[in-house]
Amino acid sequence: MFKSKSNGLIVKTEMHSYINRSADTKDSPLVSNLSSQSPISKLYSPVPDKFPSLAIQKLSGSTFSHKKTLKIESIYTDPSKVLLKKYGKVRVLAANTSAGPMKIKNHDRAKIVLNIKRPENFFNDTWPSSAFFAVYGGHGGKRCAEYLKGSLHNFVFEDGEFPYNPRNSLTNAYLKADLKFNRIAEDENDFSGSCALVTLIIGDKCFVANAGDSKAILSVDSGQTVISLSNEHKPLNETEHKRILKYGGELKSSYIIDSKGYKIEKGSYKIIPGNIPISRSIGNIHAKLEKLGGNPKIHIPDPEIKSFKIHDNYDFILMCSFGILENLSIKEAVEYVWQGILECESESIQDKIANGLSTLMNEAVSLRCEDNITVIIIGFKNLIDSCRNIA
């Protein structure tokens, strides 16, 4: 135990052996992955505190108990629902969602808009084939995710800078959606919120916008290369960490005590104010509105946006809500999709991709993820060619 001062905050942290299964640790260069030769040593290996300046409130511990999984059937993706059709660079599309093994209700939502209509302010001769894909990871209720499913894409398409400046259009849409929903939430006394992960494809250009802890991943060269397309806005993200401290935020974490007396960290850090584990989202008025004790400088709706050109060796973009990557790295997620595809040697392309999606989701279920799980696969020509070469 030690004390220090950082930005005027009294800081208390505690060093102890722990296991953290949250996506905070899976792919961040700031946090070492737990590595060992056995599950036991993986559980008890001490990990140095990467952020000793962080203000952490330790909750009271509890005795160790095995996590109980609710009864759930294996997740099945209907191959007939896999859309195999050319939409510009997009050649195949599959999506599925589930409450997951530990939740009763599913607050996640997904939205797909194919063949975006030509904007009125587009004056060139040819409007390229364009599409919009979104995963909304709802929490604290479904109201916010439902609102985004019905509105966010329209805010993008109707923005004055669309389609010439997609980055600004996406940012403006997120801010507008947050402002409008928060007014509704105040009237309805609704404290729900939602992460928002969007992939916007215009011709051969791709824009990935994210606010929250959902994740977009790119598979390249039949899965040989895996690239993260979005950052998770959680306390162990360095940018988010600095903002939390700068504006007076604090974190709290809980732990359990196992039969040998070890303290094992349980779950993600939660941010005060708001008591939620993410620092960017739409909604969550209790975390943002000052009159409710929130701080709009800590909890923000602004998306981070990455853009790139779609090349011929790109296989697919995998869009996942947090439940999928709660216990899996991005590399493992892509590997499970390819594993499912390769298992279907003689079946149709739709069967292969449907099984790839189901394999990934069922792996998340088997690892007892604690959140809802939603996946969208946006496949390009290289994925189709790879599927055809499997015999």
DSSP per residue, 4-15: EEETTEEEEE--
DSSP assigned state of 292: G
Give 391's pLDDT tier (boundaries 50, 70, 90). Answer: low
Question: Quick one: which of 187, 253, 288, 292 has its CA closest to 18?
Answer: 253
Whole-number Å distance between alpha carbons of 74 and 180: 38
Dump pLDDT digits (tens) for 158-181: 999 999 999 999 999 999 999 999
Tell me whether residue 66 is exposed, middle or buried, using C-beta atoms within 10 angstroms of its C-beta: 0 to 12, 13 to 18, 19 or more.
exposed
Higher pLDDT, 74 or 49: 74
Dump pLDDT digits (tens) for 53-85: 444 444 434 333 344 445 566 899 999 999 999
What is the pLDDT at residue 109?
97
Mean pLDDT of 79-95: 95
Q: Which residues pair with 94 in a beta bridge?
A: 377
What is the pLDDT at residue 16?
30
Higher pLDDT, 11 or 305: 305
Residues 6+ apart with CB under 8 A from 37: none
Higher pLDDT, 84 or 3: 84
Q: What is the SS3 assignment for 377? A: strand
CB 34 within 8 A of CB 19: yes
Tell me whether residue 299 is exposed, middle or buried, using C-beta atoms within 10 angstroms of its C-beta: 0 to 12, 13 to 18, 19 or more.
buried
Dump pLDDT digits (tens) for 309-359: 999 999 999 999 999 999 999 999 999 999 999 999 888 999 999 999 999
Dump pLDDT digits (tens) for 239-262: 999 999 999 999 888 777 778 877
Question: Quick one: which of 126, 104, 129, 125 has its CA closest to 115?
Answer: 129
Give 123's pLDDT tier (boundaries 50, 70, 90). Answer: confident
Mean pLDDT of 131-136: 98
Dump pLDDT digits (tens) for 260-314: 877 776 667 899 999 999 999 999 999 999 999 999 999 999 999 999 999 999 9
Tokens of 356: 């790839």
Q: What is the SS3 assignment for 110? A: strand
- The answer on pLDDT for 44 being more than 50 is no
Compute the CA torsion angle 174, 180, 181, 185 (nearest 10 deg).
Answer: 150
Whole-number Å distance between alpha carbons of 293 and 300: 15
CA-based R_g, the chain, Å: 21
Dump pLDDT digits (tens) for 147-156: 999 999 999 9
**In the block, residue with structure tokens 């998306």:** 303
What amino acid occupies position 290? E
- The answer on pLDDT for 14 being more than 50 is no
Q: Hey, how many other C-beta atoms are within 10 angstroms of the C-beta on 301?
A: 24
Whole-number Å distance between alpha carbons of 356 and 108: 20
Dump pLDDT digits (tens) for 177-229: 999 999 999 999 999 999 999 999 999 999 999 999 999 999 999 999 999 99
Dihedral sign computed on CA atoms, order 28, 29, 30, 34 = positive
Compute the CA torsion angle 55, 60, 61, 62 (nearest 10 deg).
Answer: -150
What is the pLDDT at residue 71?
52
Whole-number Å distance between alpha carbons of 294 and 292: 6
ω before 48 within 30° of 0 (cis)?
Answer: no
The continuous run of DSSP H or E covering 270 comes out as strand 263-272
CB 192 within 8 A of CB 143: yes
**In the block, residue with structure tokens 């939620």:** 276
Dump pLDDT digits (tens) for 97-106: 999 988 999 9
Please tell me the pTM assigned to this model: 0.82
Dump pLDDT digits (tens) for 345-387: 888 999 999 999 999 999 999 999 989 999 999 999 999 999 9
Give the helix ranges, DSSP H, for the chain: 39-44, 143-157, 166-188, 238-246, 285-288, 322-325, 330-343, 349-366, 381-389
The region that residue 238 occupies, defined by phi over 0 for left and psi between -120 and 50 for alpha, beta otherwise, is alpha
